Amino acid sequence: MAKKCPGEDEKRKDEGRDWLQILAVFIGCLTTLENGIHFSWTSPFFVQLTKDTENYDISEDHASYFTTLPPIFQILSCPIFSVLCDRIGRKTTLLIGGVPFILACILETFAENVYVFHVARCLTGIGASANYIALSMYAGEICKPRVRDFWVNFLVSINASGGLLLINLIGFYFDVHQTAYILLVPGVLFQIAFPFMPESPYYLLMKRKEDAARNSLQRLLQKEDVEEDFVELQADVKRQMSETGTWKDLFCIVANRKALFVGVLMRVAQQFGGSAFVAAYTSYIFEESGGDAKTATLIYSGVFVGVTIIASFCIDRFGRKMSFIISMFLCAACMLYLSVFYYIKDCVPQWDVSNYTWVPLIGMMAYIVFSAFGVSNIPNVMLGELFSASIKAKGLNVLISVMGLLISLTSYLFYLFSSSFGMYTAFFVFSLISFGNAVWCIFVLPETKGKTLEQIQQEFNGNKPLKSDRRDSQKLV
């Protein structure tokens, strides 16, 4: 039996433990699960509702608003939640933001016409806004770099992909009303469990609640002596809060401007890379291929979850920048592959593809494998890392609004291109844009793996890059 080195127990005690940080993010990510569920809600129900003419009178044109309404209301509600994050705290804002998801489920339990569904979809956009803003800030501020590098990425990704699998699994076996009852469960669990989690010590220091911040730090680090960590966190927050934090600062201060540019670029690359419209129209895409849409969608969703788990380990190993860029190139290649198949199906009648309906399934599975390694999750994880404390709420406000605009735009363009000119046109256009974005990202994206929030800010300011060591990975800041 190996003997413990002298002082090993004391050293572990000094380092503290990470389990409460992980638990807090895990519970917080129930809102990400809800967001993933409602975001992908159209995957089974776009086809189901438009084809069920006995119970509903919903055309494809009316149903197309199911994908465009949530991002519009995401944009409209962003300013509210960005203000609330700084006024009442990240934790309380996240709790409030979970309520619209519950209300949407309640409306869907008795919805009989398209307008009630539209209202429910608007509510999911409001909930998504709170999830992206509040959870990004909360997770980024309560976790050490080593926890952010793996666990935040893993939990955010697995809940988002799990939402896609869950809604497809339930949606193909239950009707809209029964599904809504089932989907109330994660929202209620979140409202019960999350109040017991600590508030962000960043926020508490911003509000000069030093005792509460010290207590939060003790809970998060799971150790009594946090004075060194507290003093360092206090100094970093003080420096970041020395900026006035105005809208002008967002564009005029070099670090903020760079962070904003990087955030917008990643969102453009993500959404034109298919992150939104592929999830929203999964069943519709397979339906157009002429194959078994139900089976193909379930296989696709299951692969997505499995690959996301594997991808979390690889991203932690290779870094976020490299993973995102490679993911972008490969996703663009998959969309080009799908474009070729649908072109042959629609425009080359002498080539019978009725026996090759498995081809788009292979392409979509390849797409989901490659997107899980970067496109679908890395921008979400990096949201809470880019901005300093003084400007974070405003920066995220802009980025989430841009994201909402892009989701609405790309979802509408995908449906417009596919319904007007053929599915191959949509995939071809988005593949070309994705190749261009991937090249651009090579020269612009920073690497944030293993770095504290303060180190990231210093590098955005143009200071000499700070070396990240094992000791840095123990810090919360």
Residue 291 is predicted with a pLDDT of: 61
Q: Report the domain count for the chain.
A: 1
- 227, part of any domain: no
CATH classification of the domain holding 44: 1.20.1250.20
Tokens of 240: 């970041």
- 223, part of any domain: no
- 234, part of any domain: no
Tally DSSP H helices, then E strands, for the chain. Answer: 28, 0
Residue 338 is predicted with a pLDDT of: 92
**pLDDT-based confidence at residue 1 (cuts at 50, 70, 90):** very low
- 32, part of any domain: yes
Alpha-helical segments (H) within 194-252: 201-206, 210-221, 227-241, 247-252
**Lowest-pLDDT choice from 113-117, 164-168, 270-274, 286-290:** 286-290
- Report, as an integer, the average pLDDT of 204-222: 93
Please tell me whether the overall predicted TM-score, pTM, comes out greater than 0.85 for this model.
Answer: no
- Better-scored residue on pLDDT, 364 or 212: 212
- Report, as an integer, the average pLDDT of 254-280: 87
- 134, part of any domain: yes
- 359, part of any domain: yes
Report yes or no: 404 and 75 within 8 Å, Cβ to Cβ: yes
At 44-65, the pLDDT tens digits run 888 788 888 888 888 888 888 8
Residue 460 is predicted with a pLDDT of: 81
Residue 98 is predicted with a pLDDT of: 96
- 229, part of any domain: no
Report yes or no: 172 and 80 within 8 Å, Cβ to Cβ: no
**pLDDT-based confidence at residue 438 (cuts at 50, 70, 90):** very high
At 397-417, the pLDDT tens digits run 898 889 888 988 898 899 889
Is the pLDDT at 385 greater than 90? The verdict is: no
- 370, part of any domain: yes
Sequence-ordered strand ranges (E) for 262-414: none
Report yes or no: 67 and 415 within 8 Å, Cβ to Cβ: yes
Which residue range is the domain that position 322 belongs to?
A: 16-212+248-474
